[in-house]
């Protein structure tokens, strides 16, 4: 939900790690990750409906903590994890990855909850998070990846999402337009289109 904005500056490098039980013990980090995700989802819909600042809760701190704790025993390869992006010791973004969720086809993974701090957008953070998430999915045996996002025609933020997901990253919608619109009606915004897109993981080399 946080596509990069154009930037010409050279930013410090980003380190991406999988959230762990050690991160779960850092209450400030847990709260910041939840805030990043909720802010990203708030920005994606704030021009489409009346929404008090900070009231679009996509994930709670408790849920973030649970994602971190799922990585306690990495040898068991948890099904769903959160990837964290750090720059100069500060968390600047996150992205989830899920191995074979029940709503996808065989050998299809999923990533989502993509969020990048406003000041870090357009500096490569989102790309590094996606790279890490897809590498994790490939290591888990996935050959395809699926994402979902809400698209609203004429909405600048939605268009940025579509351009990044379906042009730059090469995702393609795998469900009929009418189905996408019907799901948009179900989630409560009649003009929206809920796009489900997939891409072959082995095609992404950079």
Spatial distance between the Cα atoms of 188 and 159, rounded to a whole number of angstroms? 20
Domains of the chain: 15-203 (3.40.630.30)
44-to-2, 26, 70, 115 alpha-carbon distances in Å: 8, 28, 28, 11
For 138-190, what is each residue's pLDDT tens digit? 999 999 999 998 888 888 888 999 999 999 999 998 765 555 555 555 555 55
pLDDT of residue 205: 44
Q: In the structure, what pLDDT confidence band is assigned to residue 6 with cuts at 50, 70 and 90?
A: low
Give the chain's mean pLDDT. Answer: 83
Average pLDDT value for residue range 72-99? 84
In this predicted structure, what is the pLDDT of residue 91?
Answer: 98
In this structure, are residues 16 and 84 in contact, taking their beta carbons and an 8 Å threshold? yes
For residue 118, name the pLDDT band (cuts at 50, 70, 90).
very high
* Cα gap 37→90, rounded to integer Å: 15
- Average pLDDT of the segment spanning 82-101: 96
The CB density around residue 170, as the number of other CB atoms within 10 Å, is 12
pLDDT higher at 2 or 196: 196
pLDDT of residue 49: 58
- pLDDT band (50, 70, 90) for residue 5: low
Share of the chain above pLDDT 90, in %: 53
pLDDT confidence tier of residue 10, bands split at 50, 70 and 90: confident
- Pull the structure tokens for residue 118: 């406003």
Look up the pTM and report it: 0.82
């Amino acid at each position: 939900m946080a596509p990069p904005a154009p930037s010409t500056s050279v930013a410090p490098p980003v380190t991406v790690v999988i959230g762990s039980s050690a991160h779960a013990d850092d209450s400030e980090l847990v709260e910041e990750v939840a805030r990043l995700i909720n802010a990203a989802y708030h920005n994606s819909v704030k021009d489409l409906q009346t929404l008090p600042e900070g009231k679009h809760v996509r994930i709670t701190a408790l849920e973030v903590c649970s994602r971190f704790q799922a990585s306690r025993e990495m040898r068991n390869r948890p099904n769903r994890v959160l990837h964290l992006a750090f720059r100069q010791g500060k968390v600047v973004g996150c992205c989830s990855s899920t191995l074979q969720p029940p709503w996808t086809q065989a050998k299809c993974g999923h990533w989502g909850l993509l969020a990048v701090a406003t000041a870090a957008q357009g500096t490569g953070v989102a790309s590094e998070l996606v790279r890490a998430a897809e590498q994790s999915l490939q290591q888990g045996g996935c050959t395809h990846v699926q994402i979902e996002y809400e698209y609203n025609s004429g909405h600048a933020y939605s268009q940025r999402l579509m351009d990044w997901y379906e042009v730059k990253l090469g995702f393609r919608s795998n469900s009929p337009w009418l189905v996408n619109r019907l799901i948009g009606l179900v989630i409560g915004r009649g003009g929206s289109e809920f796009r489900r897109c997939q891409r072959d993981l082995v095609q992404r080399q950079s």
